[in-house]
Amino acid sequence: MGTLRVILGDQLSETVSCLAGCDPSRDVILMCEVWDEATYVAHHKKKIAFLFSAMRHFAADLRKAGYRVDYIKLDDAENSGSFKGEVKRAIARHNPDHIILTHPGEYRVLQDVKSWQEAFGLPVDIREDDRFLCSLDDFRDWAKDRKQLRMEYFYREMRKKHGILLENGNPVGGQWNFDAENRKPPREGLDIPAPHHSRPDDITLDVLELVEKRFSHHFGDLRPFHFAVTRQQALNALDQFITLRLSQFGDYQDAMIQDQPWMFHSHLAFYLNCGLLGPLECLSAAENAYYRGDAPLNAVEGFIRQILGWREYVRGVYWLKMPGYADENFFEATAPLPEFYWSAITKMNCLRQCVLETRKNAYAHHIQRLMVLGNFALLAGVSPVEVNEWFLIVYADAYEWVEMPNVSGMILFADGGFLASKPYAAGGGYISKMSNYCENCSYQISKNNGPRACPFNYLYWDFLARNRAKLADNPRVGMMYKTYDRMGQDKKQAITDDANRFIKSLS
């Protein structure tokens, strides 16, 4: 008898902890495509295809490396449809003496795994996921006794711990954060490189056929399909970002241009979050580009902050706050998600563009997610449960550990400020400044009220008015209430009337 080593679909790394000490002559690696995981929310077609293809390629690589792999495809005749069912069937086939796996990325999966030992009468060893740079225990120690968790302070400690962009223990450039230099609006004539494309091989083509057959009712366009699905392809995507995009990433990371969904972003979260890339190799590649003089400090620091700071931070928050985090609703928002989040049928061009690009690519960059799609949901009072589900469905890099803190904490302020110091609410002026969306919109950004006014303008003030009791004491929001109080009563009533009219029109 040997060990059954279970690898989940977001753990596609040969250095994953559950493989440590593996004896190929005795141990069996189990990987499985299961209906429960593909449908617990109706994931974007591209997301399912990406993960299934990456899993199949990874299994092939493991076999080439000499491992024994028991791989269950979704359409295998006896597939039980669940992780637990497939582990049970694998135990019957291989008669292992114990089970080893790496800590799952999502709370609901961990709860299932915790039931295996009693269900199967075998020891289950859940190993730490050391692909992350901050262990969950270390994050809990950092967060202990803090009323609010600010990413900036966590990020500085991570820089020191891992020696990233430091000179004699101090930050390169004399400051930790160059975000103030990373907010340039788009300009005419930007030369934006094409995104990384990988040509689908026979394995991927088989997966695409499977998804077309079994998930045709799911949201999103399946083709064209260009994701990297192997370790080497993911490394090529990293190299292309460093070579072609990183130098401009810092300046324009917040900018949005119609019909340019990829901009100068890395698009590496797809591969980091499923294991094809590791965070340290991405950080090192960016840091080396700075020292070679190939990219400016504001770009390199901004990219490093996203991975070493934000990514590690939101994972820590997720595991610190679950399971209750899923139920947070500080503003008691209950409105349903508008239909245009699926159909893209709306006169608001910014939202239309972001939904269309999301449907096509299973991707939108962080400002599109935060300040367009998320900002509208915040201002319109959409239920956090519905917003979280939508974000989890539509993006190929979305797993609950990264999606929920971003949505409930950053986008919706549903945790009441545990993660963010203020709601990221904004009127149409921000979108107008950082994009060219308003040029092709049916609404007028210059108008604040009336049927032709940009809805973001009056929804912003209505949001503040509705939630004054909860926000007035927030020092980062208080100044806006002083502005609101200087408005005449007619103006305030016009804001309320416009907001009510618009929200009613959504249903």
Peptide bond into 200 cis (omega under 30): no
Q: What is the topology classification, in CATH, of domain 3-127?
A: Rossmann fold (3.40.50)
Rounded Cα gap, residues 272 and 286, in angstroms = 15
In one letter, which amino acid is 268? L
β-pair type (166-167, 170-171): antiparallel
Pair type for strands 166-167 and 124-127: unpaired
Domain boundaries, given as residue ranges, for the chain: 3-127, 136-206+230-321, 340-506
Query: What is the predicted pLDDT for the residue at 261?
Result: 97
The pTM (predicted TM-score) of the whole model is 0.97
**Residues 360, 237: contact at Cβ < 8 Å?**
no
Tokens at 374, concatenated: 């998320």
Predicted confidence at residue 1, as pLDDT, reads 72
The predicted pLDDT at position 244 comes to 97
Indicate the class that CATH gives domain 136-206+230-321. mainly alpha
Residue 506 identity: L
Domain 340-506 part of CATH 1.10.579.10: yes
E strands of 301-355, at which residues?
A: none
Q: What is the DSSP string of 245-299?
A: IHHHHHHHTT-B-TT-SSTT----HHHHHHTSS-HHHHHHHHHHHHHHTSS-HHH
pLDDT along the chain (507 residues), means of 10: 95 98 97 97 98 98 98 97 98 97 98 98 98 97 89 96 96 95 90 96 98 98 98 98 97 96 97 98 98 98 98 98 97 98 98 98 98 98 98 98 98 96 96 97 97 98 97 92 96 98 93
Helix or strand or coil: residue 307? helix
Phi-psi region of 293 (alpha: psi -120 to 50; beta: other; left: phi over 0): left
pLDDT tens for 454-473 read 999 999 999 999 999 999 99
Q: What is the pLDDT of residue 145?
A: 87
Report the alpha-carbon distance of residue 507 to residue 499 in Å, rounded.
13
CA distance 458 to 453: 8
Three-point CA angle 328, 330, 333, nearest 5°: 90
Q: Quick check: 35 and 23 in contact, CB under 8 A?
A: no
pLDDT, tens digit, for every residue of 129-183? 999 999 999 999 999 988 778 999 999 999 999 999 999 999 999 999 999 989 9
136-206+230-321 shares the fold of 3-127? no
Please say whether the beta carbons of 18 and 57 come within 8 A.
Answer: no
Name the nearest CA neighbour of 269 among 308, 311, 305: 311
What is residue 233's predicted lDDT score, i.e. its pLDDT?
A: 98
Strands of 109-175 (E only): list them: 124-127, 166-167, 170-171
